[in-house]
Amino acid sequence: MLEPLAHIGRDPATGGYVRDAWSAADMELREWFAGEAGRRGLDLREDRNGNLWAWWGDPSGRPGVVTGSHLDSVRQGGAYDGPLGVVSAFAALDLLKERGITPARPVGVVCFTDEEGARFGVPCMGSRLLTGVLAPERALALTDDSGDTLADVLTKAGRAPYELGRDDETLATVGTFVELHVEQGQALVHEGRPVGVAAAIWPHGRWRFDFHGRADHAGTTRLADRDDPMLPFARMVLAARAGAARRDVVATVGKVRVAPGNANAIPGLVSAWLDARGADEAAVRALVAELAEEAPATVREESWTPVVDFAVPLRERLARVAGGDTPAPVLPTGAGHDAGILATAGVPSAMLFVRNPTGVSHSPDEHAERADCEAGVVALADVLEDLCR
């Protein structure tokens, strides 16, 4: 199903995908989205935050049912996280048309911008700006690893006139949002089912730890004279793992920047990004507070997503419709999604998960079987048909 996108942003050396927001790969994906909308005669719109919408019917009169996800990726990510939801959305519309369905409500396909936050560090950038939980001034000042701000990047991408920020007009077009996503875990494998429904999204956040030291020569500086930031950084990583295990949360340090980065010099600065998540918000907060307390570092919270409990009536309705003879399993997840941001903003939202045989995600090894992807499309079409009555 994802073949048309398979070459875009793919690293031939690893099979992984590098699709940073506003990169050449992302621009090519956005063109693909526009082409898919055009081929179906859908009304294509790009909102003030760069999110793309393709409408079947006019939502200005009556809020529509929207489905979709994102096309950007983490660095060296998999093929399915994000694109499966967008490709399935277009395929589900095709199925509705094949069934001769004329929806009583407008139906939209959305591609949210910069869901992974791989480039500027804040996940769900497009949906956070859309719903107003991220201030435009903060977003525009965010920098990528090259030091370019989002403002610089948007200008280079030909979107300088963007008026980033809460967009009530666009939000008003979304009556219900359903995001289909590859499962990032193996619950559906254990349940023996191809499709599931999201119950909740764990609270989760990202924090930047800056460990300051004194750059000096690797060979001539006595150990006793060193102020090496690598050591407190190493202690923080070990404390994060031990603290997470004690509190039944998960903590990850997957990105570290060492400055200036000479093999023959003690670094002056080590910057590390902590990702912490868990079912219990207080436990996540307590872990981060303990690490910030103990680490001789400046600590900044870069993003926080409170727990998302998807509304029971809507999620149970999806479980019945998507499940066929027996309701689909309803599962919590530790992964963040645009559906969570919209739900938090009060937009009736829900998620469908498609089985992932290994559960692996954010890796080139991410995979979903074709039959399960097709089952996901049928389930999504059934859900859209049900919601559009």
Asked whether 180 and 85 are in contact (CB, 8 A), the reply is yes
Nearer to Mn ion, 82 or 103 (CB): 82
Nearer to ligand HGY, 183 or 382 (CB): 183
Torsional class of 182: left (φ above 0), alpha (ψ -120 to 50), beta (otherwise): beta
- 49 annotated binding-site participant: no
Nearer to ligand HGY, 54 or 335 (CB): 335
Distance set, CA 194 to CA 201, 269, 306, 329, 331 (Å): 20, 47, 28, 10, 13
Q: What are phi and psi of 88, to 5 degrees?
A: -65, -35
- 163 annotated binding-site participant: no
Site for Mn ion in 50-89 (CB under 5 A): 81-82
- 70 annotated binding-site participant: yes
Q: Note the Cα 72 to chain centre separation in Å.
A: 8
Nearer to ligand HGY, 63 or 123 (CB): 123
Q: Note the Cα 329 to chain centre separation in Å.
A: 22
- Contacts with ligand HGY, 316-355, as mask; x by CB under 6 A: -------------------xx-------------------
- 277 annotated binding-site participant: yes
List the structure tokens of 123.
Answer: 């996940």
The least CB distance from residue 337 to Mn ion, in Å, is: 6
What is the C-alpha separation between 141 and 145, in angstroms, rounded? Answer: 13
344 HSE (CA, 13 A, CB side): 23
- Contacts with ligand HGY, 89-128, as mask; x by CB under 6 A: --------------------------xx------x-----
State the residue for tokens 């107003």.
132
Distance set, CA 171 to CA 63, 112, 310, 389 (Å): 9, 13, 18, 21
- 362 annotated binding-site participant: yes
Nearer to ligand HGY, 115 or 183 (CB): 115
Which of Mn ion, ligand HGY, none does residue 123 bind to, with CB < 5 to 8 Å depending on kind?
A: ligand HGY
Asked whether 116 and 127 are in contact (CB, 8 A), the reply is no
Please choose, from the candidates 53, 70, 69, the residue with its C-alpha nearest in 3D space to the C-alpha of residue 106. 53
The least CB distance from residue 362 to Mn ion, in Å, is: 6
The least CB distance from residue 246 to Mn ion, in Å, is: 27
List the structure tokens of 167.
Answer: 């967009």
- 264 annotated binding-site participant: yes
- Contacts with Mn ion, 7-46, as mask; x by CB under 5 A: ----------------------------------------
Nearer to Mn ion, 118 or 381 (CB): 118
Which of Mn ion, ligand HGY, none does residue 336 bind to, with CB < 5 to 8 Å depending on kind?
A: ligand HGY
Q: Note the Cα 183 to chain centre separation in Å.
A: 13
The least CB distance from residue 68 to ligand HGY, in Å, is: 15
Torsional class of 275: left (φ above 0), alpha (ψ -120 to 50), beta (otherwise): beta
Q: Please, what's the b/e burial string for 199-220 (b: 16 or more CB within 10 A of its CB; e: otherwise)? A: bbbbbbbbbbbbbebebbeeee
Nearer to ligand HGY, 85 or 194 (CB): 85
The least CB distance from residue 332 to ligand HGY, in Å, is: 13
Instruction: Output the residue with the shortest Cβ distance to Mn ion.
Output: 81
What is the C-alpha separation between 148 and 169, in angstroms, rounded? Answer: 30
What is the C-alpha separation between 150 and 21, in angstroms, rounded? Answer: 10
Which of ligand HGY, Mn ion, none does residue 82 bind to, with CB < 5 to 8 Å depending on kind?
A: Mn ion
Which of ligand HGY, Mn ion, none does residue 382 bind to, with CB < 5 to 8 Å depending on kind?
A: none
Nearer to Mn ion, 146 or 220 (CB): 220
Binding site residue list for allantoate: 206, 264, 277
Residues in touch with Mn ion (CB under 5 A): 81-82
Residues in touch with ligand HGY (CB under 6 A): 115-116, 123, 335-336
Binding site residue list for Zn(2+): 70, 81, 116, 181, 362
Binding site residue list: 70, 81, 116, 181, 206, 264, 277, 362
